[in-house]
Each structure stands twice: as C-alpha cells, then as structure tokens.
C-alpha cells in the first residue's frame, strides 16, 4: 500500500490524473474502473486538458463504472451516466462502445443483469486500474457496511447515512434513490491496481479506519488491505487521523527511488 498526502483537493486531483495519464500512455488499451462524486471530479477536470492540449489519447481505452442508482435513466440529471457524460466522456475520445455503466433503468432480472456486467468485465480482460472514492461510513462503491468481502456486482439497498449524504445532489423534495447497482468488493479487489481518492475532514475517520483499522465488514474499504497494489491519495484534512503519516511519507519517497515505474 502507498499513501500520498497532498495539501489540498486540487493537488489530489492532479496527482490522480497524473497516475491515470501514465497508465494510458503505458498501455493505450488500458481498462479503467471509474467512479463518480465530487472527489473524482477534480481528477476528470485535470485529465480533459491533457487530452485536448497534450495528446493524451483515450481512443483505445475501455471503462467500467462502479455503480449507478436504481430507478434513474441514463439521461436523468442525477444519474451517474449523466455525471460521467457531462464531466468526462463528452470531452475526451473514448469510443461510446468502450464505455460501460450499470443500467439504472432495469426493472427486473437484477441478478441476471448484474451477472452480465461481471461477464463484460471478464470478457474485456479485467480492470487494470480501478478508481475509488470512499463514503463517510467507509464504503467503496455502494458496498455498505456488512457487505461480503467476496461480493460481486449486485443490487444493494443504500444505508440511511448514504442517502442523507447524497441528499445534497438532489433538489428539495426530489425523491432520493434507495437502491443502487454496484460492483462488489470481490469485483473491485480483482483489479490489477487500485487508486482511492479522499478529501475533506468528513472522510478522516473513514480513511483512518480503512488504512490503520482492522479488516472488517463494518468498513468495507478496509478490504483494500488485502490488495497488493493500492494507492491512497488524500488531502491533509482527510488524512488528519492517520497515526503513521511520517512512515507513509518515507515509504513513498523510497518507492520513488527504488521502483519509480510504480508511481
């Protein structure tokens, strides 16, 4: 595990974009697992000019998004499909056929649909680099507390904490989805490399629990301790409760010297 402590959210976005851009340059057909939310928005804002002004070519890249609200159509302004289209896909050259996002409009056969999403990932060759955010309760994707470490893509009921946290994205009085389709923890852990981004003091307890706490279903991000290649990029506020900050800085410095390709 690597941890990069950054001064502010802008630096988190820049560092994440640098890693993603390097992955694309090393493998133009890289398979990216993507996430939505305010934290990842900074990364997308940094990647767009790299494509438009610095020849970063996404034409062979394939993407698989983590999750989608159940009950929201692709063109719904609060859907994750709409978020990705507005904030990233419409401004880079990923072919539409290479973009995969769970379909929030399905009304039945959820298990079959989720199994097909898993099969699409396998058929593509698996995910090379998975981007994650983290919820205030420590969830990744929509894998709420008590989710199985071996879970696969499935329909998941959202916790009250999560629906309350998401209320800010919806208009007053607008119904907030209570369920989502999400990649499972087992699905996420099969990615070759994982990059988790976190900013702000509201994520500090979750980050500390995920990195330095025990492996527990109560904090699903703690399952990342089982993965051999995870990088956390967090700002000072999100990392404020970490007890081993000096050691993480030392590990990052030595990694840059000994295995610079990893960065």
Sheet architecture: strand order including 62-65:
2-6, 230-235, 193-198, 129-132, 31-34, 62-65, 99-100
Question: Is 67 one of the annotated active-site residues of the chain?
Answer: yes
Within a 13 Å sphere around the CA of 227, how many CA atoms are in the beta-carbon half? 29
Selecting among 15, 46, 51, 67, the annotated active-site residue is 67
Backbone angles phi, psi at 174, to 5 degrees: -75, 135
**How many angstroms separate the CA atoms of 48 and 17, rounded?**
9
Selecting among 137, 143, 190, 235, the annotated active-site residue is 137
**How many angstroms separate the CA atoms of 231 and 13, rounded?**
14
Selecting among 46, 68, 128, 144, the annotated active-site residue is 144
Selecting among 15, 65, 128, 139, the annotated active-site residue is 139
User: What is the number of other CB atoms lying within 10 angstroms of the CB of residue 38?
Assistant: 12
**How many angstroms separate the CA atoms of 227 and 252, rounded?**
17
Question: Is 139 one of the annotated active-site residues of the chain?
Answer: yes
Rounded (10°) angle between helices 38-54 and 9-26: 50
CA distances from 186 to 57, 61, 100, 153 (A): 30, 23, 18, 9
Among all residues, which ones are annotated catalytic? Answer: 67, 137, 139, 144
């Amino acid at each position: 595990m690597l941890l990069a402590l950054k001064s502010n959210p802008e630096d988190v976005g820049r560092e994440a974009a640098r890693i993603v851009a390097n992955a694309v340059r090393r493998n133009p057909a890289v398979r990216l697992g993507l996430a939505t939310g305010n934290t990842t928005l900074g990364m997308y804002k940094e990647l767009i000019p790299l494509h438009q002004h610095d020849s970063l070519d996404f034409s062979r890249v394939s993407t698989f998004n983590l999750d989608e609200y159940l009950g929201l159509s692709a063109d719904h302004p609060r859907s994750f499909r709409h978020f990705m289209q507005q904030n990233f896909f419409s401004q880079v050259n990923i072919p539409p056929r290479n973009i995969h996002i769970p379909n929030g409009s399905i009304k039945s056969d959820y298990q079959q649909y989720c199994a097909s999403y898993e099969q699409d990932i396998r058929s593509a060759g698996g995910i090379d680099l998975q981007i994650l955010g983290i919820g205030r309760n420590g969830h990744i994707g929509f894998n709420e507390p008590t989710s199985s470490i071996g879970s696969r893509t499935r329909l998941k009921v959202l916790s009250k904490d999560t629906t309350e946290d998401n209320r800010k994205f919806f208009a007053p009085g607008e119904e907030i989805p209570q369920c989502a389709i999400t990649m499972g923890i087992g699905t996420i852990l099969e990615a070759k490399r994982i990059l988790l981004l976190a900013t702000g003091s509201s994520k500090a307890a979750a980050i500390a629990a995920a990195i330095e706490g025990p492996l527990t279903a109560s904090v699903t991000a703690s399952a990342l301790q089982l993965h051999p290649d995870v990088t956390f990029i967090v700002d000072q506020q999100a990392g404020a409760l970490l007890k081993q900050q000096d050691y993480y800085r030392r590990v990052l410095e030595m990694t840059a010297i000994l295995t610079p390709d990893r960065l």
